[in-house]
Amino acid sequence: MKVLIIGNGGRESAIAKKLSEDKRISQMFFAKGNATTENLGKNLPYESVAELRDFALREKIDFTFVGPELPLVNGIVDEFQKHNLKIFGPTKRAADLEGSKAFSKKFMQDYGIRTAKAAIFDSYVEADQYIQNHSYPLVIKASGLASGKGVVICEDKETAHHTLHQFMIERIYGDAGIKVVIEEFLQGFEASIIAFWNGEKAFPCVSAKDYKKVGNGNTGANTGGMGTVAPSPEFTAEHLADFNKNILEPTVKGIKDKTLDFVGIIFFGVLVQDNQCYLLEYNMRFGDPETQVIMALLENNLLDVIHDCIEGKDLDLQFSDKKAICLVMCSGGYPGNYEIGYEIQGLDKVKHSNVLFAGAEQIAGKVVTNSGRVLNVVATGDTYEEAREKVYEDAKTLHFDYAFYREDIGKF
Identify whether the C-beta of residue 195 lies closer than 8 Å to the C-beta of residue 259: no
pLDDT of residue 149 exceeding 90: no
Model confidence band, residue 88 (pLDDT cutoffs 50, 70, 90): very high
Hey, which bits of 248-317 come out as E strands?
A: 264-273, 276-283
Mean pLDDT of 360-385: 97
Look up residue 182 and give its amino acid.
I
Separation of alpha carbons 374 and 100, rounded Å: 28
* Nearest alpha carbon to residue 385 among 168, 239, 262, 229: 229
Mean pLDDT of 152-160: 95
Separation of alpha carbons 140 and 164, rounded Å: 8
Q: What are phi and psi of 216, to 5 degrees?
A: -55, 145
Look up residue 299 and give its amino acid.
E
Helix, strand, coil share (%) of the chain residues, nearest 5: 35, 30, 40
Beta bridge partners of 264: 197
- Provide the pLDDT for residue 133: 87
3-state class (DSSP) for residue 64: strand
pLDDT of residue 37 exceeding 90: yes
pLDDT of residue 147 exceeding 80: no
Cα 182 vs. chain centroid, distance in angstroms? 22
44-55 confidence digits (pLDDT tens) = 999 999 999 999
pLDDT of residue 142 exceeding 80: yes
Separation of alpha carbons 372 and 315, rounded Å: 36
* Nearest alpha carbon to residue 236 among 275, 185, 282, 279: 275
pLDDT of residue 311 exceeding 80: yes
Q: What are phi and psi of 234, to 5 degrees?
A: -95, -20
Cα 3 vs. chain centroid, distance in angstroms? 21
Model confidence band, residue 221 (pLDDT cutoffs 50, 70, 90): confident
Model confidence band, residue 222 (pLDDT cutoffs 50, 70, 90): confident
Task: Give the predicted TM-score (pTM) of the model.
Answer: 0.95
* Nearest alpha carbon to residue 109 among 300, 279, 294: 279
Identify whether the C-beta of residue 194 lies closer than 8 Å to the C-beta of residue 175: no
Helix locations, 133-198, DSSP H: 157-164
Identify whether the C-beta of residue 239 lies closer than 8 Å to the C-beta of residue 221: no
* Nearest alpha carbon to residue 190 among 165, 215, 220, 222: 222
Identify whether the C-beta of residue 302 lies closer than 8 Å to the C-beta of residue 16: no
User: What is the residue-averaged pLDDT of the chain?
Assistant: 97
Identify whether the C-beta of residue 191 lies closer than 8 Å to the C-beta of residue 232: yes
312-349 confidence digits (pLDDT tens) = 999 999 999 999 999 999 999 999 999 999 999 999 99
pLDDT of residue 409 exceeding 80: yes
Q: What are phi and psi of 149, to 5 degrees?
A: -115, 0
Kind and range of the H or E run holding 285:
none
Separation of alpha carbons 173 and 176, rounded Å: 6
